[in-house]
Amino acid sequence: MTSRRVHLTVNYNPGLGAHPARWRVVDDPRQFWDINTYIKIAQVAERGTFDAVFLSDTPSLRETVPTHPWHTLDPIDALTAIAVSTDRIGLIATVSTTYNEPYNLARRFSTLDHISHGRAGWNIVTTWNQNAASNFGVDAPDHDTRYGRADEFVDLVTKLWDSWEDDAFVGDQSGGVFIDPAKVHAVEHIGTYFKSRGPLQLPPSPQRHPVLIQAGASELGRTFASKHADIVYTIRHTVGDGQDFYADIKSRVATQGRDPEKVFVLSGVYPVVGSTEQEAREHLAQLDQYIDLDASLAQLSERIQLPLSRADLDKRPPARPSGWDQANISHGLTDAAWQALEKNKDLTLREILLGHRTSIRHLVGTPEQIADDLELWFRSGASDGFNVSATHFPEGIERFVDHVVPELRKRGLLRDEYEGSTFRDHLGLAVPESQYTSAHV
C-alpha cells in the first residue's frame, strides 16, 4: 500500500502571482490574458506531478480601476485549452453558483471532463461581492441565501451528471440500438431556486462527477464543504490554527457519513525559493521595492471592511471588531486577513503591508527549509497538502518544481510519477455510480 502523500495544486491567480507588485517584474504584463502563459504554468506543474492547476475567478473587475492584474479569461475556456496541451494534471475552474444556471454548468463541466479524459474539477464559490452582482443587475444575495442556492445547485448538477447510467449508451450498429432509453433518466427537479427536467444531453464523462472543491470557512461554508467537497481549500497562518480547521472539517465530514480520509484539506502557501535563505530574501526584496502602499492599504481596507488611511500606516494593526463576520463577505478570506494581522500585531501596518504579510502564508528560504515547513504541516495534522502560489508566474512555480519538488520526493512525500490518469485517480477517489442505477432506486 502506498503511504500517505502530499497533494499539490498550483494556484494560478491569473493576476500573475501572489506578490502585490508581481506585474512589474514579469516578462510581459499582458501575459495575464495570454493562454500560452497558462499552458506553460500547467505544464511546469505537471512536470512536478501536481494533482491539479487551479484557476480562481470572480466575474467582475475590481471595485475601482485596478492597480494590478485581475481575473481575465473565463476559467473553463482557459482550462479547455490547457487540457489539450497536457496529459495528466487535473484542471480546476472556479465558477459561481450565484450567477450561473445548473443545466448549463453541468453540461460545461461534463464537456471539460470529456475533453480532458477525466481531469475536470470545480471550485464552487458563491461570490459575495456587490461588484459582481452589479454585472448581473442585482443586489448581492445575503450569505444564507447564497449558500441555500449553492446547496440546491450542486444537488441538481449532480442529478444531471447522474442522469445517464453507465451502460445507457449501447451504440450497437448491427442491431440498430443506439441507446437504452430505460437507462436515461429525466431528473424532474422542482426546488426552491431551480426547476429542471433533464436528462443531460451528454453520456457520463470519465469521472462522472468532476472533483469538487470548496473554500468557504463560515459555519455554512464548512457544512457545505463537508457535504459536497472532495478538496477543501483554506488559508491558515499557524500550525495550531491549521490543525483546528483540519480537525473541524474532518469531523464534519464524518458527521455527514463520509470518509474523512477521502476529503483533502489543502492549505495555501506562497514559497519564495533561493539557493540560500539570503538569496531568497534578496529575491523577495527586489519585488518589495515596487509595492504600492496606497493600493495595498485600499485592498486591506476592503477585505476587513474597515476604513484605513495613510495615517494608520505607522500604527499597530486594528483589532478585530466583534460581529466582523456578520457582514455580507467571504468569511474565509476576511478571517485569513484578520489572522495575519493578529499574528503580526507587534508590527506597524506599514511593516505588515511592505512584508505583504496579509496574503497567503509565505515561506522564504532554501528548498530544504520550505520542505521542512510543508512536512511539518503535513505530518502534524494541519493539512493533506498545499495550494501553491508564487511571487510571480511562471518563474516562481518553475523554482518550486525544480528545487522543492525533488526535496519532497527525496523524503517520500510526493509521487515520482503519476500512477493514474484522471484527477480522481490522483486523489484515490472512485468514480461515483449514478444515483439512478436500478440498484439504487
Ligand X SMILES: Cc1cc2nc3c(=O)[nH]c(=O)nc-3n(C[C@H](O)[C@H](O)[C@H](O)COP(=O)(O)O)c2cc1C
Residues that bind ligand X (CB under 6 A): 56-58, 94, 125-128, 215-218, 220-221, 233-235, 268, 330-333, 387
Which among 88, 158, 75 is positioned nearest to 117, based on CA atoms?
Answer: 88
The nearer residue to ligand X, 234 or 369, going by C-beta atoms, is 234
Three-class SS of the chain = CCCCCCEEEEEECCCCCCCCCHHHCCCCHHHHHCHHHHHHHHHHHHHCCCCEEEECCCCCCCCCCCCCCCCCCCHHHHHHHHHCCCCCCEEEEEEECCCCCHHHHHHHHHHHHHHCCCCEEEEEECCCCHHHHHHCCCCCCCHHHHHHHHHHHHHHHHHHHCCECCCCEEEECCCCEEECHHHECCCCEECCCCEECCCCCCCCCCCCCCEEEECCCCHHHHHHHHHHCCEEEECCCCHHHHHHHHHHHHHHHHHCCCCHHHCEEEEEEEEEECCCHHHHHHHHHHHHCCCCHHHHHHHHHHHHCCCCCHHHCCCCCCCCCCCHHHCCCCHHHHHHHHHHHHHCCCCCHHHHHHCCCCCCEEEEECHHHHHHHHHHHHHCCCCCEEEECCCCCCHHHHHHHHHHHHHHHHCCCCCCCCCCCCHHHHHCCCCCCCCCCCCCC
The nearer residue to ligand X, 205 or 387, going by C-beta atoms, is 387
Q: Find the shortest distance in angstroms from Cβ 58 to ligand X.
A: 5
The nearer residue to ligand X, 102 or 216, going by C-beta atoms, is 216
Q: Find the shortest distance in angstroms from Cβ 207 to ligand X.
A: 21
The nearer residue to ligand X, 235 or 340, going by C-beta atoms, is 235
Q: Find the shortest distance in angstroms from Cβ 136 to ligand X.
A: 14
Q: Find the shortest distance in angstroms from Cβ 57 to ligand X.
A: 5
Largest alpha-carbon pair distance within the chain?
Answer: 80
| Assigned C-alpha cell, 316 | 499597530
The nearer residue to ligand X, 9 or 49, going by C-beta atoms, is 9
The nearer residue to ligand X, 83 or 235, going by C-beta atoms, is 235
The nearer residue to ligand X, 163 or 330, going by C-beta atoms, is 330
The nearer residue to ligand X, 71 or 209, going by C-beta atoms, is 71
The nearer residue to ligand X, 49 or 94, going by C-beta atoms, is 94
Q: Find the shortest distance in angstroms from Cβ 87 to ligand X.
A: 25
The nearer residue to ligand X, 6 or 235, going by C-beta atoms, is 235
CB 304, CB 339: distance < 8 Å: no
Q: Find the shortest distance in angstroms from Cβ 149 to ligand X.
A: 12
Dihedral sign, Cα of residue 240, residue 246, residue 251, residue 252: positive
**What residue is closest to ligand X based on CB?**
221
Q: Find the shortest distance in angstroms from Cβ 440 to ligand X.
A: 31
Q: Find the shortest distance in angstroms from Cβ 147 to ligand X.
A: 7
Q: Find the shortest distance in angstroms from Cβ 418 to ligand X.
A: 24
Q: Find the shortest distance in angstroms from Cβ 96 to ligand X.
A: 6
